[in-house]
Amino acid sequence: MPFIGVLPERQHLFQPQPRRAVGVSDAAAWRLNPAHRQVYDKLSLALDAGLRAAPCGVDPREYGIDPAEQVFVKPIVNLEGMAVRARAARADAVPSEPGSFWCERLIGPHTSSDCLVRDGQVIWLAHTRASDERDRERPLYWEVGADLADLEPAILYWVEQHLGGYTGLCNLEMIGGRPIEAHLRGSNGFFDFYGPDFIPAWVALVDGSDLVPPPSIPGGFVISVFGEVPISEAQCAAAAGEGVRVDLDLHTAGRSAILRCPDKQAGLAVLRTLTGRSGGGGEPPGAAMETASASGA
């Protein structure tokens, strides 16, 4: 059976194929994992993490949140771009929006961790950290292969508590060490930097074959070209000459392309060439709302 939900332009990464169906998109992963799909309920995730949160219609001020303080508003479950319709709102102006909830706003590093899991136990991790530089609250780039050893005890505990009996790949996004999203698949946009042993190990895991956990990932940087930016073949070729691959983004609203490179400065230099700018809006680390960049890059 093939991997399910792979974008056509990413098919080359997903080799070999597993013997059973494995979800790569959230919709496929939700369908194929009925015993664990509850992790997609972001309101339950927030409450379990001890955050102040409630469905829209419940007044945040009743939870001691100052009227002028901003909270996150987002769908309780959303499988098509997990952060679609997510935004910040004043606590005294949260809309009565069916199917959505509000949550206290988190401060701190935005991280994404992929875990290979066997029967509810983590056997391998790969971490990615969002940049402090932002464009309209979206991380400008992600550092794949970041050292986040300090978060690993919390991640292992979360998986043990919520994914008992699960075998496969999962992803946990956090801000300031607090969970904000969970997925029963990995951060597919980062797999280019996981090394050649990752996909075979994942396939061996889900197929029940002998598994040698992959080594530490080589790492790299995934940089977003936000806005409507025309990009020519000549510009792509010039970027390649600097060690930067340009992948046009036909799927994400407000993003023209993704730059992938082992060297951050080379990637940012190409970004400046393409757009005439290098940074975002200067949001403080982790203060901006989470975006789909970690999972949909």
pLDDT at 251: 86
Give the SS3 label for residue 108: coil
pLDDT at 280: 38
Which pTM does this prediction carry? 0.91
pLDDT at 277: 72
pLDDT at 84: 67
Segments of the chain with pLDDT less than 50:
278-293
What Cα–Cα distance (Å) separates residue 137 from each residue in 113, 126, 132? 20, 24, 10
163-200 burial, b at 16+ Cβ within 10 Å, e below that, comes to beebebbbbbbbbebbbbbbbbbbbbbbbbbbbeebbe
**Where do the DSSP E strands lie in the chain?**
3-4, 22-23, 53-55, 70-75, 87-90, 100-104, 110-118, 121-130, 134-135, 138-139, 141-144, 168-175, 178-183, 220-226, 245-248, 255-261
100-132 burial, b at 16+ Cβ within 10 Å, e below that, comes to bbbbbbbeebbbbbbbbbbeeebebbbbbbbbb
pLDDT at 4: 97
Residues 111, 98, 287, CA angle at the centre, nearest 5°? 25
Q: What span, in angstroms and rounded, lies between the C-alpha atoms of 52 and 65? A: 9
